[in-house]
Amino acid sequence: MTERVAIANDHAGVALKQALVQAVRAMGYEVLNLGTDDAASVDYPEYGSKLARMVASGTVPWGIAICGSGIGISMAANRVAGARCALVHTPEQATLARQHNDANIIALGARMLSEQQAIGCVHTFLTTQFEGGRHTARVQQLG
């Protein structure tokens, strides 16, 4: 069975989502689109929460959250118990989010990153493993 990745976005993230859907599929993942495909203004908390609930429940192991800055949708996702959403701007941050924090959702700002930068972050996020060890107790404290 192909591993699934869910992507949620607001109106600001439509174009970036489209590029990421192609990139994630090219990496061999099935993509579940939970976001809007329209430029009409929508509320990012709705989409961030929906994504986080799917990841926290185990329906999908990974999530990608996109809004204009990445901040609002990451805040919405992190309100859901079991969701560990990291806002990243570089592949190095994506690496640390996975290695040290066992992040299961990556948040990206569509107005902050180029498509190539975002693809680099997502690729790193999806291919980096949690290190466990000394980080495990800290992640457990997150809830």
Q: Beta-carbon neighbour count of residue 56 at 10 Å?
A: 18
- Which residue out of 67, 85, 121, 135 is catalytically annotated? 67
Q: Which two tokens mark 6?
A: 């869910």
Our answer to whether residue 67 is catalytic in this structure is: yes
Set 11, 85, 89, 100: catalytic member: 100
Cβ burial of 72 (10 Å; 0-12, 13-18, 19+) is buried
Q: Which two tokens stand for residue 96?
A: 């640390």
Token pair of 102 as six digits = 């066992």
| Residues catalogued as catalytic | 67, 100
